[in-house]
Chains A and B, each alone.
Chain A
Amino acid sequence: MQKVLHINPDKCTGCLQCEMACSYENYGVFAPAKSRIKVFDFHETGKKVPSTCTQCDEAWCLHACPVEAITKNKVTGAMEVNESTCVGCKVCTIACPFGTINYVQETGKVQKCDLCGGDPACASACPTGAITYVDANWTGLDKMKQWADKLGNQPSAT
């Protein structure tokens, strides 16, 4: 069963535990500046919205890469960057409609979410359940359940 990261912005408090977990997993440091998931704080509305790669099936980044440095991990479904092949041309960063693949000056390569090989650190670190790692076919399960509860789980009239 393939799983995907599922984000519920309504539950996000803006604590950035996810960003620290990401940088720690990938670089061994607590540094939101190196994180592949970013939380945006929209001050005027009070909304906090985590954003990261959704692992498109027909990935723009993968198709744009001139050296085939981005490949799909068949087990996790993640689009992964092969750092030894990547030449740092940044074309993928232009191709991605969501901005979730980015260049890293320090390495001269691009980086993106690779689902930590199937156990994403951001989801484990999230204290509120705003970021979860769920069955790819059932990202809507929680919402469906909420509505099912509203529609059919009330005391009946008779």
Chain B
Amino acid sequence: MSWAGKILRVNLTSGTVKSEPLNMQWAREYIGSRGLGSKYLVDEVDPKVDPLSADNKIIWATGPLTGTMASTGGRYTVITKSPLTGAIACSNSGGYWGAELKMAGWDMIIFEGKSPTPVYLSIVDGDAELKDASDLWGQSVWKTEGELKSRHQDPLLRVCSIGKAGENQVLYAAVVNDLHRAAGRSGVGAVMGSKNLKAIAVRGTIGVGNIRDPKGFMQVTAEKKKILAENGVTGQGLPAYGTQVLMNVINEVGGLPTRNHRDVQFEGAKDISAEAMVTPRESDGKKHLVTNQACFGCTIACGRISKIDEGHFSVKNKPEYWGANGGLEYEAAWALGAANGVNDLEALQYANLICNEEGFDPISFGATIGAVMELYEIGALTKEQIGIDAKFGSAEALCQFADMTASGEGFGKEIGQGSKRLTAKYGHPDLSMSVKGQEFPAYDGRVIQGIGLAYATSNRGACHLRGYTIASEVLGIPVKTEPADSEGKPELVKAFQDATASFDSSGLCVFTTFAWGLADLAPQLQAACDESYTTEELEKIGERIWNMEREFNNAAGFTAKDDNLPKRLLTEAAKTGPGKGSVSKLAEMLPKYYDVRGWDPEGRPTADTKKRLGL
């Protein structure tokens, strides 16, 4: 088994909470977390629904390996229709909250409707009830967690919540758990806010005790942990430097998008890199990085815990930010730094703290600031309109923008709409570095061809985590492919997308895939759940999930035209680095990708494909 076998259905309109058995056939076919939660969403929600209306639903889902001793088995996913993209949203988070939900005996929570007043859901094992959150509304994520622990007199409570950004429906608002882990992308926090749902507080004491073959499971998970420990990336690079190990690497390959993707290398990369985080600061002689931290069950421990420079302008006289706190991951450091030309590590950390405290995605936020700075530079936005001097490279502007976006005041309200809406409003839609309305992460699709295709075809808009071809194209995992080559990339992208969908659905972290393939995941799922989870079966399930998500998006109104990249990546060649002179070869790759996927030229899964996948 290893599924709890129960889901919690919460109707926020009527205030009712009830338990339902998990659909075990779907569990078998879609595993859990991303796949299974999406299956429920697709089955229950009209793809054309207004994402911020009461008719949208929002689902928290764990996987069968969540809450087990499989390494990284602590993850959960938030699934809904995204207000940022209009596509299916599926945001994954670590920390401890997901495992706690599973330990309380629940695979999933489905919220429907909209509460007339602010509420939070309290879960203690089998008991779940909605409680008044009027006095928590307007509070940050951090204050909400502290307040709920003290209100319930339970220091062991685990909390996920939204801050002001979710309440104000910032279109890329996040759901944050355990203070600084986040289901970060696509605005799942805005949907939570639109439903007047402030938080979910969970205490689970039952545990996970229904592993199919406990002895076999303990043995195989121990073997697989050994592989992670002995791998250079998961055993050494990530624990020591975190994902930030990539900053200098990606800059060197000339794939670090800089100043709203005008450049592909950032002269300040070294100042905001992993190496900078462990070098004593000139100002106070202390290192920025305090330690690494694991999420639940994780034997990699890539998380960063940092201490900001107390003398930095952003936190002067603000001692509440001086303690150890969630530090910069690569994507955040890139979006808050290189994307805006800001090389002040402490300013990046301040903006990152605000993103965690009030719950919004640093990638979309940072990339939107990049667009604002470019609009400012070309004169499409003025200081009078913005309220501040917004030059590329301004650390002061970055910090002020973070505050404005968190509070929703002044120009912050417009930043909270994301780059697509903002650039369109000011007459330059081409300056939004996004796909389907979601901003790019930290790799340039001109120089690294596969990731460009992965962005264009990602089911949740631009995203590196749906098919992380960087592993192959830059790091050589599992085999090295050339970043500049477009040949073979459609097949590579499909393979990564399908495998990732299975990993995401298991309840484990995709970072294990630096060392593991599906052949390593399969025996763990077999021991925990069901013998039928072979490597081949997991490939097929991943593909099934991918096509199911695609069908939802197609029904929502997306077409082949939306599998596109901004004009800049297709026409403005990279100016420097090993990829100098290159643009994305998307037009070459996309038809081939549709073909490999078994889709028609309009990007629709054919009847044969659907039949083959059991859709």
Interface residue count on the B side (C-beta < 8 Å): 36
Q: In this assembly, does A94 line the interface, its C-beta being within 8 Å of a C-beta of chain B?
A: no
Which among B214, B294, B323 has the greatest number of chain A C-beta atoms within 10 A? B294
Chain B positions 269-295 with a Cβ under 8 Å from a chain A Cβ:
290-295
Contact B291 A46 (CB under 8 A): yes
Q: In this assembly, does A118 line the interface, its C-beta being within 8 Å of a C-beta of chain B?
A: no
Determine the chain A residues whose CB is within 8 A of the CB of B239 once the complex forms: 13
Determine the chain A residues whose CB is within 8 A of the CB of B218 once the complex forms: 24
Q: In this assembly, does A87 line the interface, its C-beta being within 8 Å of a C-beta of chain B?
A: no
Decide yes or no: A44 and B323 within 8 Å by CB, A23-B207, A30-B208 being known contacts.
Answer: yes
Stretch at the interface among A31-39, A52-60, A66-74, A143-151: A31-39
- CB 8 Å contact bits of B232-267 with A (1 = contact, 0 = none): 000000010000000000000000000000000000
- CB 8 Å contact bits of B504-516 with A (1 = contact, 0 = none): 0000000000000
Q: In this assembly, does A88 line the interface, its C-beta being within 8 Å of a C-beta of chain B?
A: no
Determine the chain A residues whose CB is within 8 A of the CB of B156 once the complex forms: 33
Contact B209 A45 (CB under 8 A): no
Count of A-B contacts judged by CB separation below 8 Å? 85
- CB 8 Å contact bits of B168-212 with A (1 = contact, 0 = none): 000000000001000000000000000000000001111111000
Contact A45 B208 (CB under 8 A): no
The distance from the CB of A86 to the nearest CB of chain B, in whole angstroms, is: 20
Q: Which of B67, B205, B225, B324 contacts A45 (CB 8 A)?
A: B324
Q: Which of A24, A27, A43, A128 contacts B69 (CB 8 A)?
A: A24
Nearest B-chain residue to A20, judged by Cβ: B69
Q: In this assembly, does B386 line the interface, its C-beta being within 8 Å of a C-beta of chain A?
A: no
Interface residue count on the A side (C-beta < 8 Å): 26
Q: Which of B103, B179, B209 contacts A33 (CB 8 A)?
A: B103
Q: In this assembly, does B22 line the interface, its C-beta being within 8 Å of a C-beta of chain A?
A: no
Decide yes or no: A46 and B204 within 8 Å by CB, A28-B214, A31-B103 being known contacts.
Answer: no
Q: In this assembly, does B229 line the interface, its C-beta being within 8 Å of a C-beta of chain A?
A: yes
Q: Which of A14, A27, A28, A43 contacts B324 (CB 8 A)?
A: A43
A114–B209 alpha-carbon span in the complex (Å): 22
The distance from the CB of B212 to the nearest CB of chain A, in whole angstroms, is: 13
Q: In this assembly, does A102 line the interface, its C-beta being within 8 Å of a C-beta of chain B?
A: no
> Secondary structure of the B side of the interface?
loop
Contact A13 B292 (CB under 8 A): yes
Nearest A-chain residue to B298, judged by Cβ: A15
Contact B297 A46 (CB under 8 A): no
- CB 8 Å contact bits of A128-149 with B (1 = contact, 0 = none): 1000000000000000000000
Contact B67 A17 (CB under 8 A): no
Chain A positions 1-52 with a Cβ under 8 Å from a chain B Cβ:
13-17, 20-21, 23-24, 27-34, 43-48
Nearest A-chain residue to B104, judged by Cβ: A33
Determine the chain B residues whose CB is within 8 A of the CB of A13 once the complex forms: 239, 292-294, 298, 301
- CB 8 Å contact bits of A83-105 with B (1 = contact, 0 = none): 00000000000000000000000
The distance from the CB of B234 to the nearest CB of chain A, in whole angstroms, is: 11
Q: In this assembly, does A127 line the interface, its C-beta being within 8 Å of a C-beta of chain B?
A: yes
The distance from the CB of A49 to the nearest CB of chain B, in whole angstroms, is: 12
Q: In this assembly, does B45 line the interface, its C-beta being within 8 Å of a C-beta of chain A?
A: no
Nearest A-chain residue to B325, judged by Cβ: A43
Q: In this assembly, does A65 line the interface, its C-beta being within 8 Å of a C-beta of chain B?
A: no
Decide yes or no: A15 and B301 within 8 Å by CB, A27-B207, A29-B208, A45-B323 being known contacts.
Answer: yes
A26–B325 alpha-carbon span in the complex (Å): 34
The distance from the CB of A152 to the nearest CB of chain B, in whole angstroms, is: 28
Q: In this assembly, does B68 line the interface, its C-beta being within 8 Å of a C-beta of chain A?
A: yes
Q: In this assembly, does A64 line the interface, its C-beta being within 8 Å of a C-beta of chain B?
A: no
The distance from the CB of A6 to the nearest CB of chain B, in whole angstroms, is: 20
A23–B214 alpha-carbon span in the complex (Å): 13
Q: In this assembly, does B128 line the interface, its C-beta being within 8 Å of a C-beta of chain A?
A: no
Determine the chain B residues whose CB is within 8 A of the CB of A15 once the complex forms: 294-299, 301
Determine the chain A residues whose CB is within 8 A of the CB of B225 once the complex forms: 127
A20–B96 alpha-carbon span in the complex (Å): 13
Which among A23, A24, A128 has the greatest number of chain B C-beta atoms within 10 A? A24
The distance from the CB of A94 to the nearest CB of chain B, in whole angstroms, is: 20
Determine the chain A residues whose CB is within 8 A of the CB of B325 once the complex forms: 43
Decide yes or no: A125 and B204 within 8 Å by CB, A13-B292, A44-B323, A46-B291 being known contacts.
Answer: no
**Residues of A at under 8 Å CB distance from B?**
13-17, 20-21, 23-24, 27-34, 43-48, 125, 127-128
Instruction: Beyond the given A31-B206, A33-B156, A33-B205, please list 9 additional residue pairs across the A-B interface where CB-CB is below 8 A.
Output: A15-B294, A16-B96, A20-B68, A31-B103, A33-B207, A34-B207, A43-B323, A46-B290, A127-B71
Ranked nearest first, the 5 interchain pairs of A and B with the lowest CB-CB distance are A31-B207, A29-B209, A46-B324, A29-B207, A15-B294
